[in-house]
Structure 1
Amino acid sequence: MPRYLVLANQTASSPELTSAVRKMVEKKADTEFVLLVPATPVEDLLDWQDGDNETIAKRTAQAAKEHLEGIGAKVVRTEVGDPSPIKAIEDELQRHQEKYDGIVISTLPLQRSRWVALDQPRRIERRFKLPVTHVVGHSVTMTREELINGLNEDLNLELEGLLRGVYHAAAGRGMLGHELRELLKKELPSELDHATFLADKIVALGGEVRIRPSLPAELGAARELLQENIAGERKIISNYAKRIDQASEFGDKGLVIRLENMLASETDHLEQLERLGR
């Protein structure tokens, strides 16, 4: 009967690996699997988990075993191995002296996977002379499409800020209206710069720029205009905080840095608006 060594950690219960194993079982029902989970250092995991790397790896292995058995796969045993995938496989083959028909390696996407960055799948195939099936667990991390959708949302908020700034700068009356006008006029170039960057980034990620900003509400009193701008700034700041986390999860460090700078700029603008309202 066919027997495969499955090497996985953070993607051990991912839909992508589940699908790959299911297809193998459908092709030959008596296929057996040994699940090998490298004890990845805690600091290298996507999400913080309680316990040391060995404890976490054992927990991951047990959960994945139960998950795969739930789709009809025969997982004959699980093992926790060395943090190095190659060393983990080497130890497994020497310790148990079993013959495998191939190795299934499940990794995070390139942007987040140290295994892929180090070309581990191909190195393992060359080293152990066994066919390697590489499965990428895209669903475990932030997808490109989700990030693009979020950036489009941010873009439209920046465009709304531009429209609101132009309208409110013209509509403000009295001393407060004059002070608000000067503050909004000063911030317009920054808002335009943010919007331009976001549009460029969306295209660079392979997405489409979707321009659908809401038009500013018609307000009269300067204090109402001020409160509307404060609410708008709080919204974009909240969005940027979430987008920084998403960009970090996606693995785009340059985008994280740029968004942090934009968040700092928007926070400064919010504080200026709030001081104006006191």
Structure 2
Amino acid sequence: MARRVLVVANETHGGRSLVDAIRARHEAGDADFVVIAPQNRPHSGYVIYDDAVRDAAQMRINETLDAIREHGISAIGDVMDPDPYTATLDAVREYRIDEIILSTHPETRSGWLRHDLIERLEHATGLPIQHVVVDVEAEREKNPEKHTLIVTNKTARCEALFEDLRRRASESPHRFLVVVPQEGGHGHHIEQAKARLQTLLDRLAREGIPAMGGIGDPDPYAAVANALQFHRVDEVVIATLPQMRSRWLRSDLIGRVQKITAAPVEHIEIDVSEAESAPAQSGAKAA
């Protein structure tokens, strides 16, 4: 039987060094992979919204799943406990793991290493653990693909937004991260945000444009700040309604986001009359 390999990562998901380690283990033969991430508590926002936290973790997992899929490797992905030690132990028990690949930042930046996570897991599980170091900043300099954060809500189904993203993808290699802030913390707001997100992801998928996404905190500023916390972002595109109708613009969202990131922040203004015009399609998987 194939050995079950657990891949544990958080902010380093999708890193080239991690993907290379999974590829090497795959090529060695007899391995099935389970990829997990903890549900990290976001730094921004006064209230923790479970759906947004879970979506954020799933997006991180998807970065690795998408990267290894390009090399013909399939895997199971699962969102686990917020504590990485508990998350790993839970996954080891649930999936009957035989070995672990654990990815961290370099030692000077890794909270996991400061808390001796590897040694504690070795003692608790008795399993072989391969430690992979991912230097996110160094890898970014070598990767020409631009990672663009798209922040949208009512404009997500708008033809103008889709055409803008398609143009960007045609001009240079892009990978889009779409965040749709839910307008409230209740069920119908969540479902509405997911439907809008899914429409845009489906359209991008049909064009073969790499994209993933999830819903975010109802406060768009917190949603952006949390995305910046966990993902590589080379530029930010914020799509809003026209000036007189946009709560985001009235709260100076553009200016506030510019203060928390060195990445360029671009504003696209879209008339709501076409914002919900695109028919909903299903197919691409929202995080």
Q: TM-score range by the shorter chain?
A: 0.3 to 0.5
- Higher Cα radius of gyration: 1
TM-score by length of 1: 0.45
Relative contact order (C-alpha < 8 Å, sep 6+): which is higher?
2
TM-score by length of 2: 0.43
Q: Which has the higher strand share?
A: 2
